[in-house]
Structure 1
Amino acid sequence: MKAQAASLPFTPIYAAMVAIVNTKLPQVGELLLKRLIVQFKKGFKRNDKAVCLSATTFIAHLCNQQVANEVVAAQILLLLLHKPTDDSVEIAVGLTREVGQHLEEMNRPIALAVFDQFRNILHEADIDKRVQYMIEVLFQVRKDQYKDNPAIKEELDLVEEEDQITHTTALDDEIDVQDGLNIFKFDPEWEEHEAAYRTLKAEILGEGSDDEDDEDESDDSEDDEEKQEEKALEIKDQSNTDLVNLRRTIYLTIMSSIDPEECCHKLMKVTLPAGQEPELPSMVIECCSQERTYSKFYGLIGERFAKINRLWTELFEQSFAKYYETIHRYETNRLRNIARFFGHLISSDAIGWHVLSVVHLNEEETTSSSRIFIKILFQELSEAMGMPKLQARLRDDILRPYFEGLFPSDNPRNTRFSINYFTSIGMGAVTEEMRERLQNMPKPALPAPAAAADESDLDLAREHLHEPVLLTEDVPSHELLPEALKAKAGKEDEV
């Protein structure tokens, strides 16, 4: 679903793939349809045009492939046209262009009802001129019998009609999207299930003959030899001209884009040489840091890339550690922009919260620059998420080990430093647990001062001096004195 939303023109291909999988694993096709319906409902309630557009496009092509019943497409169309707005009519027009031919063939009364609704909107509703033109173009497409918008292209008609399994999930059904499947659970019989899955995978993809394998191996060996010959003729460029040109291309692409969606689309087309992938996150962050004030434009670019592919997620996470270690090299304004950029990525879960493990908040391991960076980062997190959600995330049992550097508990001095720091930046609420731990820490026992011990000995000696002394013939007088004064008395007797 994420891949389809990021590349809508490839939706027919994704739908064809789902149709093939659905013949062997119908529960997968049904679950995908349910999640798309729920995604559309959420986007419709939130007035999120992009989400609605991606969900309806996918549902339309699933209907064309007969993975989903055409009734769900009709229900979505009638819902969008019930209270027409510019956006809802635009989405409905796009959906009708994709699924119209299939509706005409499978359920003509529904198709007539939908086009009657479009006709009423065109004549009566107060909508934008642009949307009116879109409806007129739709009627022309229908008149031309969808010659430019066929239900299924010939090269994507891969499943026989009798083999396909059609799911009849409706828009108003109670739908369970089975979110529990998103969480890994250990399977004690995973070896047997893996073997069964490999068998099923071979049935879906088909197995090639041994002759084809031999031919492929010979072709691969020839390709390897050609590559080795090319490598022998390669000349290394020590002037980094290619790297400079790559950075210039990325910079100009970012600066020439109007919105984040356009920028991401253009950057995805930039050819990155092997090993130069970190240059793209680096250039996005550098461009962000050079702005006079922080622009959310860059945060949305980073978020989109980090959510497209795990590779970009890891590169942005590595960038966080690199920039935190070298943050003292940046002036305050650039530092502020970088901190807010990463604050946006973390608050949107584009990168993992475990990146905060590189932060050790104590007097020895922080500088004035790093403390400013942490301050702005947490202020951005608080502003984006709200303090209650931020506190809940910081207290998460799974993430807690990554925050030991931020909220130290091993040393009272570091704990006190962290408490004072967060309190001074107006975020004392996150230090409540640290305050409790600090109060419950056992206080070390202080040794008695030496001066006090000497004074007690003198007091004891004075008490003995005031006691009556009984002299006898057998016992010398100095032996009746306290131990502290015996030595002195013995010396006087010798004299």
Structure 2
Amino acid sequence: MSTATIQDEDIKFQRENWEMIRSHVSPIISNLTMDNLQESHRDLFQVNILIGRNIICKNVVDFTLNKQNGRLIPALSALIALLNSDIPDIGETLAKELMLMFVQQFNRKDYVSCGNILQCLSILFLYDVIHEIVILQILLLLLEKNSLRLVIAVMKICGWKLALVSKKTHDMIWEKLRYILQTQELSSTLRESLETLFEIRQKDYKSGSQGLFILDPTSYTVHTHSYIVSDEDEANKELGNFEKCENFNELTMAFDTLRQKLLINNTSNTNEGSNSQLQIYDMTSTNDVEFKKKIYLVLKSSLSGDEAAHKLLKLKIANNLKKSVVDIIIKSSLQESTFSKFYSILSERMITFHRSWQTAYNETFEQNYTQDIEDYETDQLRILGKFWGHLISYEFLPMDCLKIIKLTEEESCPQGRIFIKFLFQELVNELGLDELQLRLNSSKLDGMFPLEGDAEHIRYSINFFTAIGLGLLTEDMRSRLTIIQEVEDAEEEEKKLREEEELEKLRKKARESQSTQGPKIHESRLFLQKDTRENSRSRSPFTVETRKRARSRTPPRGSRNHRNRSRTPPRRPKNHRNRSRTPPARRQRHR
């Protein structure tokens, strides 16, 4: 047999072995949960994972990038820690690939995938699978790009460990976060998250990262890996693809030795009464995660809303968990590209089954509007508005649930106003304007349709509903606003009249005061003026007659023998010669 034929047969055998390993590994990782963690770890060793280590790494990366697996990342991280204990190459490859994949997804602004990757890397840092330099690179990048939500997520998980191994850098990050909190304008949700993070730190992370499960470090060997990102590095696109293994036989022998070692350890642990090789202190609410996963699978496996409602009601869910079920239903509906009647029909069946479900839906509606509304995008707000508008229009929820909404510029946000717009548009489509007007009149929604109080509140509400094409709903408010304005105008006019009356009284009082006190003031002023002009001559006190003459504007009349300086000549006596140029008229003689 030729050498080429032998090589071809060898490649064919290795490819078949590779396909067998891939078909075995993929379902184990895709179905991984905290409950089957140890079983999954043992099942992986049924095939040669030394040869198929890149297959495991590829499945781990794909599992992390799946946006639906966010709550299963702790189980995946624990499995990586166990595999890294036996096969350090897996931990080293994953440290590099996850870091590069994070940079790639961050540049693409896929923040959900970034959150999953950061969660995985943070937990691997707790297990000492990766070095703190990896986490510090990520945090510095996030702070530089002002991605505070991701920074908060990382610090909640591994902040306490970072404080132990690199306290100086840890404190520097906190000072940066404090500066951002004090100086920058943040959304209410983001500010609240930052304040919660500071409270966790004040409690020494007791309610934050230390709430995660912890693997017993005595049961596995620690191998820590570090990786520094460079601009030239890229994620391996061919990770997990078939490649000919040059040392196939050596890896086969090494794997047989490793598997025998694990079998001996498992047997000794069983004889000693130990039920597991690894003790896991689970403080991550695994039962809650499994419950939500079960609800989600019920929704996705149902062909209609009626079928989904039937399956959920068969579970006999406790009252304290019904709100969680409603939250899962709404979040599932928001994952659709458009509004689906599947979820509205499902909700109708749930609400009509028992009034406790209606209470759960009411509480979820309040939470959606008061707490979560700023986190939704416009498309999600449209779906959310149609969903709640459908339930309210068919009276599965009362119109009174809208009382929590107060439509003012100060007490509403842009996302909230967009949500109200889509909600009322759905109500109009389902009911029509006339029927909607009747229902609004029967419910006192003073927050959105105020008829009393501040005129600015009424005017703002009128402008809002007019802008979204529902001005007919504001007729009562317009009438009320007219009355309020007339009353305000009348009060303003009355106020002006009172002010004028008071001003007139003051003027009258001033005139009376001037008539009684004014002359004395004028007399003293006149006395002072004359005293300054005629210092050398003494004056007798003024009499009433002289005071009257002094106040007169016309000059005093002189004596009779005083020469009259008036422009009008004095009357001449009769015997005075007429000096006029015009001769006197002659008398005519009578014949």
Common fold by TM > 0.5: no
* Structure-1-length-normalised TM-score: 0.44
